[in-house]
Structure 1
């Protein structure tokens, strides 16, 4: 009796960037230059036009189009779309793995994140806090899980200064008339992390166009808002197999609130606490 061997599993499909990487040595000099840009800046490509890439590389826009066609795509938009799809697949929520060391890995990654946060220069944090303290209004925005962080940041900051409001960019996008309330004296504190919300990108760009100062708090990827942000903090998000860590965002929000309180010398907090006592907000 003979048995038929089980078929070998098919290899996982290569991403567009993998294909470029494996073919790199076969390209000419200019194509190697363009390919390396796509490999090194894959997370930025979904937000860049062919013209912007061409300007960076000091080549023509047609050179980018011809390169995309030579490597098997209809043109740059097709290559861009495939890279975007690849990123969505790799940056999406992962399925949980084995449970034997989840707890140990979780605490190890949280400690690593906190250690990395200590490397943020104090001057950068102070500049963030001073911009928040000096603003007429503080808009705190995010989408999905980032909106949850925005709500926490609003709660903390509102204890120390007036006119702090958290907004879901998904809801703002459905009510764009709220942009009429923005002035150039305001700041918007933006929380965003991969996968970057299209609503957040679109709404914050609209705010920026109205002159608001953009303070971006993001992960260590390539946020599409990085180019327009007046100030940016990139935080580590090393987490479990399933989720990125949100703890660094809460820690930094708390630290910024402490720095804002110091800048404003606590006057608003004293008034707020007096009102809490008058209305019996707390049991004790």
Structure 2
């Protein structure tokens, strides 16, 4: 599988931060791996459903002078040949990449101290603001949904705009001491600005980000990295989601009444017939 044209192309694209349009081109090339070294920029643009200049920008994003240089490189390292029937398709490759991200996360969690410290910070903050915009909004929502079952005052901040700093200031006035932020690419500038504002207001910032070198790192007191998958048109975030759940567990461990709150919820849910099972 590792020597197939598709795998060689996939390896070429890995490690580059590509836009959704550029990923579409990359996926088209992986699907047409045997033909890719011989396609003109116009032909590739038509197959991918993008403009010809987008193909040129794609080649430059990969570090080449232009598309002709990329094509020459492909002819050298990925000669035309039929992909083996046993070669993994792009969906399988994306899953394998996420499995590798999870393995790396497991290695990082061999030292639980950073997550445990973050859990204590979040548990002690009343209220607890949870921030996540754009691609990270679903991660913030998921954390806030479960955290509200054990934490007395969780405030979800998943919409940007001029009200964001107002809501951060309101949380500080209400007694907040920490902020949890989920920050995933592409990183909105207003998230970076919001974290700078939060720290200036006295909040301790705990951030789950895709990398220790993410733009939010400079404004985070505790940064917990978990890589995203980049093999599909849009990032996959299995590792950040799982890290968020581990952080929830650590927060529960730091809340002495967490189990009692969960049991109280379960009793109420049963009385209301809230769930179908």
TM-score (norm 2): 0.64
Q: Does the CA contact (< 8 Å) of 2:165 and 2:197 recur in 1?
A: no
Counterpart Cα distance in 2 of 1:200 and 1:187? 16
**2:128 pairs with 1:127:** no
**2:218 pairs with 1:227:** yes
Unaligned 5+ runs, structure 2: 1-15, 32-87
State the match for 1:236 in structure 2: 227
- 1:76-225 aligned at under 5 Å gives the runs 90-93=17-20, 94-95=23-24, 96-97=27-28, 98-99=30-31, 101-120=89-108, 121-171=111-161, 173-174=162-163, 176-183=165-172, 185-220=176-211, 222-225=213-216
Corresponding residue pairs, total: 195
Farther-moved stretch of structure 1 (145-154 vs 160-169): 160-169
3-state SS, counterpart of residue 273 of structure 1: helix
State the match for 2:54 in structure 1: none
TM-score (norm 1): 0.62
What displacement does 1:169 show?
4.4
Counterpart Cα distance in 2 of 1:279 and 1:256? 29
Q: Does the CA contact (< 8 Å) of 2:126 and 2:153 recur in 1?
A: yes
State the Cα deviation string for residues 165-203 of structure 1 (Å, max 9, x = none).
Answer: 2212414x3454323322264321111122210121122
Unaligned 5+ runs, structure 1: 1-88
3-state SS, counterpart of residue 182 of structure 1: helix
Q: 1:227 to 1:178 in 2, by over 3 A?
A: same
Counterpart Cα distance in 2 of 1:101 and 1:281? 41
Counterpart Cα distance in 1 of 2:166 and 2:224? 29
CA RMSD in angstroms, aligned pairs only: 2.2
What displacement does 1:159 show?
1.9
Counterpart Cα distance in 2 of 1:143 and 1:91? 20
